[in-house]
Amino acid sequence: MNAIKELREYFQSHPASPSTKVLARLAVALASEREFSLSDLYRLPLREFELAMDLMRDWRLDRYYAARVRLFDVASNDVLTVEMSR
């Protein structure tokens, strides 16, 4: 199961826990590219800490693939289109 789905399920099953609040702040920080305190992660129980690490790993991988798609779009639509019109 991917980390985003697992995190969503965790939120639904533990809506009022302090860990949920930390994980939610982490998700928002990643989505909005804002700073997040690592000390908040270190205070999480092990299961929730690992979920946070999985989220960051998946988020980084997704951003990598999104960057590749954007690069392909620029290369094919902007660079090669100009070259082909010459």
SS3 readout for the chain = CCHHHHHHHHHHHCCCCHHHHHHHHHHHHHHHCCCCCHHHHHCCCHHHHHHHHHHHHHHHHHHHHHHHHHHHHHHHHHHHHHHHCC
Better-scored residue on pLDDT, 54 or 78: 54
Please report, for the chain, the start and end positions of each structural domain, with discontinuous segments joined by +: 3-84
Kindly state the percentage of the chain with pLDDT values over 70. 71
pLDDT of residue 41: 95
Residue-wise pLDDT tens digits, 26-37: 999 988 889 999
pLDDT of residue 3: 86
pLDDT of residue 31: 85
